[in-house]
Structure 1
Amino acid sequence: MTENHRIAIAGIGSVAEMHALSIGDIEETTLVAGSCRTDSRGRAFADEYGCAWFSDTETMLDETESDVLIVCTPSGAHLEPTLAAAERGIDVLCEKPLEITTERIDRMAAACEDAGVTLGGVFQQRFTDIFREVHSAAEAGRFGNLSVANAYVPWWRDDGYYEGAWQGTEELDGGGATMNQSIHAIDAVQWLAGTAIGTDRDENPVGEVFAYTDRLAHDEDLMEVEDTAVAVVRYRDGTLGQLLGATSMYPGSLRRVQLAGRDGTAEVLEDELVTWHFRDEREDDETIRERFGEGEASGGAADPMDIDYTDHRRNIEAFLASLKSDDPYPLDASEARKSVAIIEAIYDSAERGEPVSPS
């Protein structure tokens, strides 16, 4: 495996800048190029980050000798660059969601497996210090028999966010507040709950969902999909949960993830730990409460770019480390697929008016 990874980025939007900044901080990596259909944006990106620019992803892959492609195109356009990379023997790290349907994800995974390359997802929230602490507690069984696993994303997006954009379209967003904004929280809560209840890694911890979705704060000429969704969840072991995803709640408030059981509760409000109590109090619990007890960032509640790139960098580092060591990447296609399967079940349940199990 090459020591100096040559990385290309497909899709030069706002999130691509997070990746470009991250790559600049990582030793033994070089950002060689980005692809974008817009001339002015492509040239500006190339000037800013000292790389080449191409208007076509396949041409970029042919002419740059890249060994890793990071896919940052709109959500419903992740399949094509991934297939192009697989055909050329290039490993792929793909922004969330891996794709907007499980059928498209499965095509991506099959192509990469056939080509002998790695396909990984980006869920940078898993790499935050605060969620690592919650995950360690879940792994250690500190919650006891789990009772509740909840995720809330009570956010706001003004009309300008959707005007003339791919966001809010069925074709490229694949959904609204649930698929786009809430997927990080859904991924986090299913990951934590699955760990706490001991679900097999290849099994989705969510057993079924019952959901309602609607467009309540934005006109249909601005967005085709939902800006508000609520769902109740039954996990495979019987644990119950609630999911809220919205871009309809002015002025927007902080994302919340909650895990609670017979022996303890952890509750994370964006980057602040508001509850950390366990029946078996340990020496470092007070230190953890003090360390994570003050949160300041809005975390995208009203501004989608109110985040820094530290956790993106950690996510990329984990992917590159897995390539160098041949160890499994913890957010492989199977793992990154789970949140999309849950969201598909939410949409299906809302349409059918009955509980649906993720496929």
Structure 2
Amino acid sequence: MTGTYEIALVGTGGIAGVHAGDVATLGPRARIVAAVDPEADRLDAFADTWSIPHRYRSLDDLLEARSPDLVDLCTPPALHAAQAVECVRRGLAVLCEKPPALSLAEMDEIAAAEAAGGGTFATVFQHRFGSAAASLRGLVGDARIGRPTAAVCHTLWYRPDAYFAPSWRGSWEAEGGGPTMGHGIHQMDLMLSVLGPWQDVTAVAARRFRPTDTEDISAAIVTFESGAVATVVNSLLSPRETSYLRFDFEHATVEVEHLYGYRDDDWRVTPTPEHADAVAAAWADGPAGRPSGHAAQLGAVLDALDDGDVPPVSTADAWSTMELIAAVYASSFTRRPVRRGEIDPDSPFYRRMDGTGAPWMPKGAAT
């Protein structure tokens, strides 16, 4: 396509402002032509701030009036699947904030709607799109750094009790899970994008201190098809907040520590002494200068639309990340290892992340 892509932004909460600001950085490639929110005052304030000409109180109203090039879903998680299905059935391209759905069942509903309607669905996993992550993915399988051996994936954040004051926060029905689902999902997705298919997981999850139905901490050991083993910790109880990933290869360790986004300088590469020159040359061969963030992914989405391709991150890509999250919960609540592919439509964890029910909840709470 030539010209300017027209974007409709659905939802005008805090994350929508981030999206709007990043669309503005794209210059003439894209513009927000419509915004949707059921609260009129909030909708008007947002649209006035970002000079958005068309305003709608519902997604249905938008879709009856317009056919945007891209629908950007910035709504609460419980709305994502139904809204995505409605859009892709009409053949539209959708970009959706995380988590893309509340369950694997909902992910399959989105995929079926894509197949039926011809639209496309992509999830916002912006950490894939920084240049350093792209460089690392390009080196997997490169003899200069060797085979992957181990990894660390930690999302150690802090949220006080007051964070959960809104009734929908910390509930399985509205958010689908706690930090495993709503916070650590970004780092786990980046880990999977580097290390490839996972094989099995053994995990624990607990609700220690926060007034929630969901967990406030989880930990997992994940084995990959390559043989690499990763430790994954997701917490909302960590006063020194950090997002930390470490990838050990035969000839080098590659690390990144940040909080909500990284630049090239946040990454560190440590080679073995005998491979120092080769590792340095390999890392220098990769792209540089692009921080992670929504703007980076939005640019990649528009590139895909230019070429007639499915925008990244596709439903299949996001399904793998969601399957790992479901497996963390399933392993935690059944107290046994869970293999990839095991959570099928016959599993209680296919339709709800809490499956048979979190052990700290009243019996029968999960349905």
Distance 2:334 2:270 in 1: 38
CA pair 139-38 structure 1, distance change in 2 beyond 3 A = farther
Show the counterpart of 2:195.
193
Q: CA deviation at 1:144?
A: 1.5
Show the counterpart of 1:125.
127
Distance 1:67 1:255 in 2: 34
The residue matched to 1:280 in structure 2 has which SS? Answer: helix
Percent of aligned pairs with the same residue? 26
**Contact 1:276/1:285 (CA < 8 Å) preserved in 2?**
no
Q: CA deviation at 1:328?
A: 4.2
Q: CA deviation at 1:139?
A: 5.1
Show the counterpart of 1:243.
232
Letter in 2 for 1:233: V
- 1:313 alignment partner, one of 292, 295, 304: 295
The residue matched to 1:155 in structure 2 has which SS? Answer: strand
Show the counterpart of 2:177.
175
**Contact 1:58/1:81 (CA < 8 Å) preserved in 2?**
no
Show the counterpart of 1:281.
276
**Contact 2:150/2:248 (CA < 8 Å) preserved in 1?**
yes
CA pair 213-310 structure 1, distance change in 2 beyond 3 A = closer
C-alpha offsets along residues 283-337 of structure 1, whole Å, 9 cap, x if unaligned? 7839979xxxxxxxxxxxxxxxxxxx97201101111211121234342110121
**5 Å matches for 1:188-337?**
188-194=190-196, 205-219=197-211, 223-249=212-238, 251-270=239-258, 271=262, 272-277=266-271, 280-282=275-277, 285=280, 311-337=293-319
Q: CA deviation at 1:234?
A: 1.1
Q: CA deviation at 1:109?
A: 1.5
- 2:93 alignment partner, one of 91, 94, 103: 91
Distance 1:328 1:34 in 2: 24
CA pair 288-166 structure 1, distance change in 2 beyond 3 A = farther
The residue matched to 2:34 in structure 1 has which SS? Answer: strand
Letter in 2 for 1:258: R
Show the counterpart of 2:344.
none
Q: CA deviation at 1:25?
A: 2.0
The residue matched to 1:216 in structure 2 has which SS? Answer: coil
Q: Which runs of 4+ in 1 moved over 4 A?
A: 286-289
Q: TM-score, normalised by structure 1?
A: 0.85
CA pair 45-147 structure 1, distance change in 2 beyond 3 A = same
**Contact 2:217/2:234 (CA < 8 Å) preserved in 1?**
yes
**Contact 1:227/1:248 (CA < 8 Å) preserved in 2?**
yes
**Alignment gaps of 5+ in structure 1:** 195-204, 290-308
CA pair 181-258 structure 1, distance change in 2 beyond 3 A = same
Q: CA deviation at 1:245?
A: 0.1
**Alignment gaps of 5+ in structure 2:** 285-290, 342-367
CA pair 244-327 structure 1, distance change in 2 beyond 3 A = same
Distance 2:35 2:150 in 1: 43
Deviates more, 1:71-80 or 1:132-141: 132-141
Letter in 2 for 1:212: V
Q: CA deviation at 1:158?
A: 1.2
**Contact 2:8/2:35 (CA < 8 Å) preserved in 1?**
yes
Q: CA deviation at 1:255?
A: 0.8
Show the counterpart of 2:164.
162
Q: CA deviation at 1:32?
A: 1.2
Q: CA deviation at 1:110?
A: 1.5
Distance 2:270 2:97 in 1: 31
Distance 1:328 1:32 in 2: 22
Q: CA deviation at 1:143?
A: 3.4
Mapped pair 1:340 → 2:325: no
Q: CA deviation at 1:57?
A: 1.0
Letter in 2 for 1:50: S
Letter in 2 for 1:18: V
**Contact 1:34/1:46 (CA < 8 Å) preserved in 2?**
yes
Distance 1:214 1:65 in 2: 44
Show the counterpart of 1:64.
66
